Amino acid sequence: MDRETKTIITPVDKHKVVLRAWITGREQEDIQRPLMECMKMSVKAETPEIEARDAVSALEEVKHKKIETIVVSVNGSEEKILDLVLDMRSIDFNFVIAKVEAIAEEKDFTKPELEQEKDTDSGN
């Protein structure tokens, strides 16, 4: 499926990163699956109990799935996307992650953050 993409340039090493502009519901569910799988729910004496198992690994896997799902290419390469992003300088990595998170959370990262907060605060 062809879909709209957005191109960003990392601040330090100037990596050209192409991102999907949005994700599908199926992709969103796939991204969240590791969190659901690390939770164990049971009912004892009519009281639900939730036990989180290995939540740190699940959170890391969610982050990796977001990168693999949303990043289309790095410097023109569509191979080993996760490795390319993870091997960036931390400043560039954090920049890419912020954009990936914004897309995964359906925020418009093209707007300045203060404008988004103002829109949210005013009830828009």
Instruction: Write out pLDDT tens, residues 28-79.
Output: 888 888 777 766 666 666 776 666 666 677 788 889 999 999 999 999 999 9
Q: Which long-range contacts (CB under 8 A, 24 or more apart) does 87-95 make?
A: 88/10, 88/13, 88/15, 89/12, 89/13, 91/10, 91/11, 91/12, 92/10, 92/11, 92/12, 92/13, 92/15, 95/8, 95/10, 95/11
Whether 124 maps to a domain, the answer reads no
Q: How many domains does the chain contain in total?
A: 1
Does a structural domain hold residue 68? yes
State which residues form the domain around 96. Answer: 5-118
Is the pTM here over 0.85, yes or no? no
Residue 49 falls inside a structural domain: yes
